[in-house]
Amino acid sequence: MNPKLKDWRGQRVWIIGASSGIGAELARELIKRGAKLVLSARNAESLQLVAADADALVLPFDITHANEVLAARDEILAKWSGIDLVLVVAGTYQKMRADNFDLGAAKQLVETNLNGTLNCLNAVLPTLLAQGQGGIGIVASVAGLSGLPQALIYGPTKAALINLCESLYLDLRPQGIAVYLINPGFVATPLTAKNDFAMPALISAEVAAQEILRGIERGEFHIHFPRRFTNWLRLLRLLPYRLYFWLIHKVTGL
């Protein structure tokens, strides 16, 4: 559905959310594979640690500040004059159910996960469209596929990103631009470390990064993993609601 990629050497990749977890592992893996990287997130010190001795440009910013993302984009264009791939990995999670609804936390989730991604799009779309080549990958989550307990607001932010990627693909692919929808299952990172429940089919951030890069190399649009878990959730969303809600209650006990 997207062009295949055989060789990462020399590819100019901007990873947004590269200071920890999945984004940091993507950066480490891409450094090994010879890509040229720009690493962004808020924590400059962690980004430097991820870059280590590699020739990667570290541009820290907060994705909720549109002007900071634009300034970073300008710095990248001044250095590279183009971008081959943007990976929007940055995101945050807070467990929430209806009986502990917190408007401030809900708005923060929307601000980071959805509006932050829009700030990134605002910065890179003109460049990608002018180039008529390159790609953008957005990390959503299988929690966006259908409503789940504990994900009262996280889920809707990720559902919005899934829908956004679908529309982006329709708009951008005919213009020569690749779009990747990335839906991980459970990955062991600082984001999930606070979970107090058993996470089925949990994988490491290293494996998640490899799955993402393999999906891009194969030209997939929907990159989801581990499939032994994500395929079940994709199947569940097709069920009639009566059966879906019954199964979710039964399986999660929530």
Q: Does 19 bind ligand NAP (CB under 6 A)?
A: yes
CB of 75 vs ligand NAP, minimal distance in Å: 16
Report CA-CA distances (Å) from 181 to 13, 128, 137.
Answer: 16, 17, 6
- Cβ proximity to ligand NAP: between 18 and 124 the closer is 18
Q: Which residues lie below 8 Å from residue 43, measured CB to CB, with a gap of 6+?
A: 19, 20, 60
CB of 175 vs ligand NAP, minimal distance in Å: 26
Q: Which residues lie below 8 Å from residue 141, measured CB to CB, with a gap of 6+?
A: 91, 154, 155, 158, 183, 184
Whether the CA torsion 20, 21, 23, 26 is positive or negative: it is positive
Report CA-CA distances (Å) from 117 to 71, 114, 134, 245.
Answer: 16, 5, 18, 30
Q: Which residues lie below 8 Å from residue 13, measured CB to CB, with a gap of 6+?
A: 30, 35, 36, 37, 38, 83, 84, 85, 86, 87
Q: Does 141 bind ligand NAP (CB under 6 A)?
A: yes
Question: Which range in 11-19, 118-126, 216-224, 232-240 contacts ligand NAP by CB under 6 A?
Answer: 11-19
Binds ligand NAP by CB under 6 A, chosen from 23, 134, 137, 156: 23
Q: Does 225 bind ligand NAP (CB under 6 A)?
A: no
Question: Which range in 85-93, 118-126, 232-240, 246-254 contacts ligand NAP by CB under 6 A?
Answer: 85-93
Q: What is the CA radius of gyration of the chain?
A: 18
Binds ligand NAP by CB under 6 A, chosen from 13, 35, 41, 152: 41
Q: Does 35 bind ligand NAP (CB under 6 A)?
A: no
Binds ligand NAP by CB under 6 A, chosen from 39, 139, 159, 223: 139
CB of 42 vs ligand NAP, minimal distance in Å: 3
Binds ligand NAP by CB under 6 A, chosen from 115, 131, 192, 231: 192
Question: Which range in 58-66, 128-136, 172-180, 236-244 contacts ligand NAP by CB under 6 A?
Answer: 58-66
Contact criterion met (CB below 8 Å) for 56 and 27: yes
Contact criterion met (CB below 8 Å) for 233 and 146: yes
Q: Does 62 bind ligand NAP (CB under 6 A)?
A: yes
Other residues' Cβ atoms within 10 Å of the Cβ of residue 219:
14
Q: Does 144 bind ligand NAP (CB under 6 A)?
A: no
